[in-house]
Amino acid sequence: MKVFVVGLNHKIADVDVREKLAFNGPKLEEGLLRFRQLPEVEEAIILSTCNRVELYANVRDPQKASESIKTFLSDFHNIRRESLDSALYIYDDISAARHILRVASSLDSMVVGEPQILGQLKDAFEMSLSKKTTGILLNKLMKKAISAAKRVRTETRIAENAVSISFAAVELAKKIFTDLSTKVFMLLGAGEMAELAARHLIGNGVKEVVVANRTYERACDLAKEFNGRPVNFDDFMQEMVRADIVICSTGAPTYILIKNQMQKVMKERKQRQVFIIDISVPRNIDPEINDLENVYLYNVDDLQGVVDTNLFERRKEAEKAEKIIEEELETFLKWQSSLDSVPTIKALREKAEEIKNDELGKLLHKLQDIGDKEREAIEYMATAIVNKLIHPPTAALKADTENKELLVAAIRRLYGINGERSED
């Protein structure tokens, strides 16, 4: 039994290719069942997200499985078979198990440390369980992947630092104001990045929202979406007296707020702290405003600096996470190795018992006049001899070794254990 992965992700395929191979909606269930029905596939899971499409399997012959799965993808998605060879990556055995653990822990994600992938992996696993397309190997590996991801979350700080401009804005706001729920937020303009930051702020507790835009109808639409209040753009200076957090992205060619104007605002605010984010390019807020007491002004480059620092921190945490992955992988491989040995150990015991019983039968047939005590003594001695003879190979099979497959093959040949190995 070997873990096998065939897939593609954001690193090697653009969105057009990923869309063509995606298993969306009803396609997922249909694809999963057809995938499992392939003769070379004994267990099957399909993980399909916006950034990756991966097929997980338990196979005996990786080479045959590779060809079969590629043909399945070609037929199912009506894509030329030849075009898949360069678009897919393939992982086999240990590298496949390691890959799945890294995916679950978001070490293979576009944004390292993002939490969504673990939920998506759980959903894929649940789908496979409900359709009975998995078995002992993938069930164990999926549970191990989930536990590894949880360890990475709790034992590292990989997900603690914001790695997008909009998230960085929220993180800075939380450092300045410990409780965002009591703060007034004003969105000045309607740039895409500013709107995204606004959504994150609202998601982090901001309740009172004011929207000012040069097009009042647009302000009304956004205010409705954010459950806020629209105002005329010309009135934004008066509104800043109440606003604790301001995100500006107007697209104006010059400054719309200068230092002496902000001084008047701060006087009316009685010097209460204010956090201003100028995402506009060119900048719309005079950078000299940052010299004023209790005014915290950040532009897009400042936020990018925060993101770059946080990405560096995440990379350091990712190194710790990789060590956790290797620890969890080692325990899985030990379990898998012992699982591969069980059928041979059972067959070896059955072979020994068969020989013992056959020889005992012949001997006791010749010694019909002996008593019960003598018979028991002979049977006990025969059992003891058998146990001592099969103990060394049994212990070797149970031990952790890199050459387990060679050892299994050698023992089966030496002891005349023929046929396919049992799966129980």
Catalytic residues: 50
Helix (H) or strand (E) holding 80: none
Supply angle C-alpha 362, 366, 371, rounded to 5.
Answer: 110
Q: 328: which residues sit within 8 A by CB, 6+ positions away? A: 101, 144, 147, 148, 151
Helix (H) or strand (E) holding 252: none
Q: 232: which residues sit within 8 A by CB, 6+ positions away? A: 212, 216, 219
**Residue 229: exposed, middle, or buried by beta-carbon count in 10 A (0-12, 13-18, 19+)?**
middle
Distance (Å, rounded) from C-alpha 259 to C-alpha 257? 7
Phi, psi torsion values for 375, nearest 5 degrees: -60, -45
Report H helices in 226-299.
236-240, 259-268
Q: Which of 165, 148, 171, 45 is nearest to 111 (CA)?
A: 165
Q: How far is CA 291 from the centre of its chain?
A: 44
